[in-house]
């Protein structure tokens, strides 16, 4: 005969179970606030700082001065200027098995040197439990009974959704700078662009919405046109003013959050090597929003097919790689980026199709 025992829980067991439950809730709250904690910000668009493509993430997001870059719109809307192919890209990031982040976009050349893009970014956390407040329950017996009840019955849950839809328009400007008869004319590529972005956030019974505007421009030229030997590469200076009017998030509680204007400046240099199937890109940027930290990135591309990348994103070391292969006469790029965190390793996978 098997006898069933009814063993009462000791105060120590009650405390251990309670700590375990609170640890689970703490981890969920941690992942909700992860973009804020990683980047040290406190603004309503921090989820956008996760990035738009693995290539950009692995470069430390130092892309304000990288021209002709689908996905670069998030930092500088002029990044899509001068592209000559239609690009569709997608990135998925599993945030430590607790949250999901997605980025999907379409970039297309238009008439009269214009380019346009539409992009959707979304951070989602599902099934966040609503747990009772135990702070006012001091009796060990009452806590034990409540924890037993919590363990036997499913919690009510809610979801967190943070979404942004961004439309980008850029004009590619090409002209020559004439410094007089003593100098050669300098060929300049200077795209200028604008983002119009809608931000929607819903957390528990809170819901907020806002519309913002970004402006950006670049100046790209060959260094050899200015000074030095012919083998020197090309340099780009970039400038972006994000949330130029100060984006306001309007909440259903009548509360308002202001995303302040941010000035982003950067420079990049790309060098090709005669006789070698390799080119090297180095890029850096700084911003008013994070004045004490800068972003850095480097990319080594071999045969225009394989890319190795490393970056420093506000003190967070990141890395990645990419490979480009021909498919049906078009170009398919597969990209991967990663970084280490106290919760574990974070991975982003992305694909881009140019046609």
Residue 290 gets which letter from DSSP?
Answer: S
Residue closest to 66 by CA, chosen among 216, 184, 187: 216
Q: Are 72 and 91 in contact (CB under 8 A)?
A: no
CATH number for position 232: 2.40.160.40
Query: Is residue 309 in a domain?
Result: yes
Query: Is residue 102 in a domain?
Result: yes
Q: Are 290 and 60 in contact (CB under 8 A)?
A: no
pLDDT of res. 181: 63
Question: What number of other Cβ atoms are within 10 A of residue 157's Cβ?
Answer: 10
Query: Is residue 315 in a domain?
Result: yes
pLDDT of res. 275: 83
Q: Which residues are CB-neighbours of 296 under 8 A, at least 6 positions away?
A: 60, 62, 283, 284, 311, 312
Structure tokens at 342: 């106290």
Domain span including residue 278: 11-354
Question: How many domains in the chain?
Answer: 1
Query: Is residue 3 in a domain?
Result: no
pLDDT of res. 171: 95
Query: Is residue 4 in a domain?
Result: no
What is d(CA 158, CA 126) in angstroms, rounded to the nearest whole number? Answer: 7
Q: Which residues are CB-neighbours of 129 under 8 A, at least 6 positions away?
A: 24, 25, 28, 155, 156, 157
What is d(CA 98, CA 32) in angstroms, rounded to the nearest whole number? Answer: 9
Give the H or E element holding residue 55. helix 54-58
Structure tokens at 245: 């009017």
pLDDT of res. 153: 67
Query: Is residue 16 in a domain?
Result: yes
Mind listing the pLDDT tens digit for each residue in 25-43?
444 444 444 444 444 444 5
What is d(CA 237, CA 63) in angstroms, rounded to the nearest whole number? Answer: 10
pLDDT of res. 124: 83
Residues in the chain with pLDDT < 50? 1-9, 11, 14-19, 21, 24-42
Residue closest to 281 by CA, chosen among 233, 243, 317: 233
């Amino acid at each position: 005969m098997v006898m069933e025992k009814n063993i009462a829980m000791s105060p120590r067991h009650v405390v251990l179970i309670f700590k375990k439950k609170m640890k689970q809730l703490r981890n969920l709250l941690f992942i909700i606030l992860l973009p804020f904690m990683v980047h040290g910000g406190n603004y309503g668009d921090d989820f956008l700082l996760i990035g738009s493509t693995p290539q950009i993430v692995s470069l430390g997001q130092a892309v304000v001065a990288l021209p002709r870059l689908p996905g670069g719109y998030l930092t500088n809307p002029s990044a899509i200027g001068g592209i000559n192919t239609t690009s569709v890209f997608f990135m998925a990031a599993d945030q430590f098995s607790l949250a999901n982040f997605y980025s999907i976009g379409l970039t297309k050349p238009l008439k009269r040197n214009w380019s346009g893009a539409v992009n959707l970014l979304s951070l989602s956390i599902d099934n966040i439990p609503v747990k009772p407040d135990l702070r006012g329950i001091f009796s060990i017996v009452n806590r034990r009974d409540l924890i037993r009840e919590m363990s036997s019955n499913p919690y009510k849950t809610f979801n967190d959704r943070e979404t942004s839809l961004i439309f980008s328009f850029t004009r590619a400007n090409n002209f020559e700078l004439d410094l007089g008869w003593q100098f050669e004319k300098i060929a300049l590529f200077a795209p200028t662009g604008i983002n119009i972005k809608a931000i929607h956030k819903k957390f528990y019974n809170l819901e907020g919405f806002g519309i913002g505007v970004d402006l950006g421009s670049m100046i790209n030229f060959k260094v050899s046109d200015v000074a030095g030997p012919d083998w020197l590469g090309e340099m780009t200076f970039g400038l972006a003013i994000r949330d130029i009017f100060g984006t306001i998030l309007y909440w259903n509680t009548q509360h308002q959050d202001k995303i302040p204007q941010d000035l982003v400046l950067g420079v990049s240099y790309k060098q090709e090597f005669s006789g070698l199937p390799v080119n090297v890109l180095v890029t850096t940027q700084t911003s008013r929003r994070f004045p004490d930290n800068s972003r850095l990135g480097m990319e080594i591309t071999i045969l225009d097919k394989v890319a190795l990348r490393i970056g420093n994103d506000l003190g967070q070391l990141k890395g990645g790689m990419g490979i480009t292969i021909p498919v049906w006469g078009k170009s398919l790029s597969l990209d991967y980026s990663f970084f280490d965190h106290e919760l574990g390793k974070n991975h982003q996978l992305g694909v881009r199709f140019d046609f």
